[in-house]
Amino acid sequence: MKIPENIRRRDHYIHKISPFIGKNLIKVLTGQRRVGKSYLLYQLMKEIGEKHPDTNIIYINKEDFQFDMIRDAPGLIDYVHTQLKQDTRNAIFIDEIQDIRDFEKALRSLLLDENNDLYITGSNAKILSGELATYLSGRYVEFTIYSLSYDEFLSFHDLTDNDESLELYIKYGGLPYLINLPLTDHVFEYLNSVYSTIVFRDVVSRYNLRNSQFLEKLVMFLADNIGGLFSAKRISDFLKSQHIRLAHNQILQYTSYLANAYIIHEVSRYDIAGRRIFEIGSKFYFENTGIRNVITGYRLQDKGKLLENIVYNHLLFLGYDVKVGTLHAEEIDFVCDRGGEKLYVQVALRLENQSTIDREFGNLLRIKDNYPKLVVSYDHFDGNTHEGIRHIFIREFLKLDAV
């Protein structure tokens, strides 16, 4: 196959995956459609071709009609066997593998040959994590791929780091294909088509849903209430006001479908004092703010919500497991864990008066441990710290590659 030219590298992910190149493990790249998983495969092929030129590269893209005949595990095995070369390493790349029935059985078989170096992508968290964990425990390593970070967005679009660039990032999001479009409101037509594809292919069609009207109302509600604390009852009450009645368990099921397709991220609440996860009540953030803005519109009054969303997304990009913190009656926006090290983050649109400063910094001061604590805001703050709690301007925070 011919690898596309002029690929913009995403070194953040290449550096993570590179140590596993050539290892007899499945490298699993997951994430929402159109976040660039296919192009990461191309980058990996190029990397392997340059460093290990004797490697035989086999590529299957289930979105390409020429591979339509590969529909199940036997079909996948048959095709791969026609492409394998003996006595050399075979790097096998399979894009959107969830469209192949019983794919995990084929992967288990292919792993038996230590010359096979496997890379797969998928757009459904449930299918991949569930099936791979069942059949291939300990034989795969997973990498979640996200929309472009702010720094990647600047690089892709050759932009300077300034307030106007940040506004473009928040408004249109970080889907890599936007590099081919002028950053104007015409972008929303493309984003709407991506959103429709995800909803109908990865949710409605995947789960054979009949009540698409409810699904649209649910997504609209979540988009309009980014960072709000939700329960199935609260969503149910909203739907009743829209003359839609649905059982609580169905609401939870539909939100899980949206999360599995990576449209949204569901964030659990964590009791900091009791060190436990609350079973009831979650928050939801969108994988891509551009897609969120297509759903509900880009409005000035939503700036605080969107700020919180992009901070959350950047924490994921940095590799943190993120929860919403609760400390007695107070809320900590984000409690983050990475390798056992914690980070606490508060997000504020403006630190324009003393009461806001006291609230945002005060909540963090009540946490009696020595892990780093940050307040991120959209405005500059006179001084880098407040009683030892660090403040950081949003653009500086989004350019961090480590905290």
Give per-residue pLDDT as tens, 214-241.
898 899 999 999 999 887 777 777 777 7
Structure tokens at 217: 């109302």
183 in a structural domain: no
Its domain, for residue 26, covers: 11-144
Give the model's pLDDT for residue 250: 84
Question: Mean pLDDT over residues 315-323, rounded?
Answer: 97
Where is pLDDT greater, at 139 or 211?
139
d(CA 368, CA 366): 6
243 in a structural domain: no
72 in a structural domain: yes
- Per cent of the chain over pLDDT 90 is 74
Give the model's pLDDT for residue 383: 66
> The pTM is what?
0.95
Q: Which of 304-308, 379-383, 390-394 has the lowest mean pLDDT?
A: 379-383
Given 144, 171, 204, the domain boundary residue is: 144
- Per cent of the chain over pLDDT 70 is 99
135 in a structural domain: yes
Q: Which of 271-280, 333-342, 392-401 has the lowest mean pLDDT?
A: 271-280
289 in a structural domain: no
Question: Mean pLDDT over residues 305-327, rounded?
Answer: 96
Are 378 and 349 a contacting pair, CB within 8 Å?
Answer: yes
Task: Tally the C-alpha atoms within 13 A of residue 274's C-alpha that lie toward its C-beta.
Answer: 11
Give the model's pLDDT for residue 189: 97
Report the chain's mean pLDDT, rounded to a whole number.
92
Q: Give the DSSP H or E segment for 42.
A: helix 37-51
Q: Which CATH number do you get for residue 20?
A: 3.40.50.300
Question: Mean pLDDT over residues 321-349, rounded?
Answer: 94
213 in a structural domain: no
Indicate the number of domains in the chain: 2
pLDDT tens digits, 152-192: 999 999 999 999 999 999 999 999 999 999 999 999 999 99
Look at strands 276-286 and 56-61 and give their pairing: unpaired
Question: Mean pLDDT over residues 245-271, rounded?
Answer: 90
d(CA 30, CA 145): 6
Given 144, 174, 207, the domain boundary residue is: 144
Given 144, 179, 211, the domain boundary residue is: 144
Question: Mean pLDDT over residues 197-223, rounded?
Answer: 90
> Coil, strand, or helix at residue 234?
helix
**Where are any strands of DSSP class E within 15-79?**
26-30, 56-61
176 in a structural domain: no
d(CA 203, CA 255): 10
**Residue 268 confidence (pLDDT) above 90:** yes
Give the model's pLDDT for residue 380: 78
Where is pLDDT greater, at 271 or 289?
289
Give the model's pLDDT for residue 134: 79
278 in a structural domain: no
Q: Which CATH number do you get for residue 348?
A: 3.40.1350
What amino acid occupies position 181? Answer: L
Query: Cα 376 vs. chain centroid, distance in angstroms?
Result: 21
Q: Phi and psi (nearest 5°) for 152?
A: -65, -40
pLDDT tens digits, 104-162: 999 999 999 999 999 999 998 877 777 777 788 789 999 999 999 999 999 999 999 99
Are 76 and 70 a contacting pair, CB within 8 Å?
Answer: yes
Contacts of residue 376, defined as CB under 8 A and 6 or more positions apart, other chains included, come to: 307, 311, 345, 346, 347, 348, 391, 392, 393, 394, 397
Structure tokens at 164: 């106007």
